[in-house]
Chains A and B, each alone.
Chain A
Amino acid sequence: MNDSEKIDISVDIAGIKMKNPVMVASGTFGYGAEYSEFIDIDQLGAIVVKGICLDAWDGNKPSRMVEVPGGLVNAIGLQGPGVKGFDEKYMPFLRQHDVPVIVNIWGRSLEEYGEVAAAFENMEGVSGLELNISCPNVKEGGIAFGTNPTMTADVVAHVRKKTSLPLIVKLSPNVPNIVEFAKIAEAEGSDALSLINTLPAMVIDIETRKPVLSNVVGGLSGSAIHPVAVKLVWEAAKAVKIPIIGMGGIMRTEDAIEFMVAGASAVAVGTANFIDPEISLNVIEGISAYMQKHGMSSVSELTGSVLV
């Protein structure tokens, strides 16, 4: 055993005990099984599965993804199996694993958000819910809830009443003042915050003069959004007491550490999984090595250590 393995980098986020602060972001890791042939998924801090609503959902027509400098723009449109399909198809595999499973949920109305949250109340093997009020790729629901303060307050309060599971609200970066939304989510009972979801974006093919994505617009992820995300995490972390999960363009250990220094208690790797499935494990090792080098013995020493 080398020294870096002795460091305890476990964290407790919203009551979910994680071996380390490195999670995988919703929509970028399927339902865990897809990547289990490449890495030992039990080593992850947590797995956040692809967004799920009450019933099976078709998603958008292709084309759904396009590469751009510094990342990609996607408009998958939350294709998913619904609560029942998820339980039957994907939970049996996840239950055999020793890693917290966080379900990313969405709805088209306040009531639907509540119903889908309630549906997980007694599902064995689910450690928490991540409330997606920030998806730019569906016509109803999604980002509409995340960009209006009253609607954000209503949906968080409603879902809070429907679930006893740890609740993580995933905020939209597409607001003028993130602090306002972070405080609303905290006040209405959110146990933690995820920041950020993708940034609304568009790509046009100049030869055909048509948008590349069938949905016309999509969400930008990857390196390009990392500095934007760091700034939002930093602002939100100063304003709330609940822990923050930082995400957006983590491509290397340094990016993850930057989030933590800015104020995140944990991080999630997204788009980078597509390019290098081993990246989250490398980031876990990298965080240990960094803490050791800087004489830190707990992740909390890293969180919010920015000197401004």
Chain B
Amino acid sequence: MKIENTKILKHSHLVGDYRLLVLDAPEISVQAVPGQFVHVRIPQLEGSALRRPFSLYRAEGATISILYKVIGRGTAALATAGEGSFLDVMGPFGNGFPIPDADIMPILVAGGYGVAPLYFLATRCSQKGVLFVGGATDLDILCIEDFKSIGWDVRVATMDGSLGTKGLVTDVLDAWLKDNSDRDDYSPAGQEIFACGPDGMLKALGDRTIAGGFNGWLSLDKHMGCGVGACLACVQRLRDEYNHDYWGRVCKDGPVFESRQIVWE
């Protein structure tokens, strides 16, 4: 974990409200694992503004990339940061996704920018799996060419039907899970879900992994203060091995949790 003054190597518009940021961050990059995040100080905001958390989308050589959506004043200000300028970045933070064993079928499920950490995960998998990605419209569907270029099967769902199947990403997933479970060689232990997206989607996925008897690794999105486990702002109700409930820290104990650890409100 480091605080790095990183140079913006590339900052570009992707599609819709989404942007790509590539930073020169050698110290963070070498330590990064998929599912971890960085905590970014937005230089255009006043000095008392909190940092903003973003998942790592790529970590290659000395560079890290994040993929973000402009949703409020922080991300809007970040969008104005010029290439060649510097960003104060802390990270990499949190526990990422476990890299699946080679004999596991990885099923990745993303909502919106949730696709970013999942792409990083896909690049660290030795096998090829399947990605389900959902969004409101085709403008929320990102990175599918990235996944295709490394040989992954990509299934898209949009609420308005502008790309892929019309409806929820879980509908498309359910059909696929059913087909897969009808196979002769099917064993629940042979597949695992890795997901990042809104809480509603994550809960729906967690329910399926518990009912189906396989693992679900879910990356939660919570408002954060410190990002390092000190302030207790980012908590999620969790269950420990003795079946006791407690408020765990998404920044330090997560952001990735196995679905059985999470107690949904």
Contact = CB atoms under 8 A, between A and B. Distances in A.
B47 A251 contact: yes
Interface in A65-124: 65-67, 69-72, 74, 76, 79
A227 interface: no
A275 B47 contact: yes
A288 interface: no
CB-CB nearest 4 A-B residue pairs: A30-B230, A65-B233, A34-B230, A274-B226
Contacts of A224: 48
A223 interface: yes
Interface in B219-239: 222-223, 225-236
B246 interface: yes
Contacts of A76: 231-233
B104 interface: no
B229 A30 contact: yes
A206 to B, nearest CB: 14
Contacts of A74: 225, 231, 233
Given A222-B48, A223-B46, A251-B47, 13 more contacts: A28-B226, A30-B228, A34-B228, A38-B3, A62-B235, A66-B223, A69-B46, A70-B46, A71-B48, A74-B225, A224-B48, A274-B231, A275-B51
A305 interface: no
A37 interface: yes
Contact of B226 (A34, A59, A67): A34
Given A65-B225, A275-B51, A278-B3, A29 B230 contact: yes
Contacts of B50: 67, 72, 274-275
A34 B227 CA distance: 10
B219 to A, nearest CB: 17
Contacts of A276: 41, 88
A64 interface: yes
Interface of B: 1, 3, 41, 46-51, 88, 90, 222-223, 225-236, 246-247, 252, 265
B247 A271 contact: no
Contacts of A249: 48
A59 B225 contact: no
A271 B235 contact: no
Contacts of B88: 276
A58 B247 contact: yes
Contacts of B235: 59, 62, 64, 79
Given A30-B230, A59-B232, A274 B223 contact: no
Nearest to B236: A62
Nearest to A24: B230
A50 B235 CA distance: 16
27 contacts: A27-B231, A28-B231, A29-B230, A30-B228, A34-B226, A37-B228, A50-B232, A58-B246, A61-B265, A64-B233, A64-B235, A65-B225, A65-B231, A67-B49, A70-B46, A70-B48, A74-B233, A79-B247, A249-B48, A251-B48, A274-B225, A274-B226, A274-B231, A275-B48, A275-B49, A275-B51, A276-B41
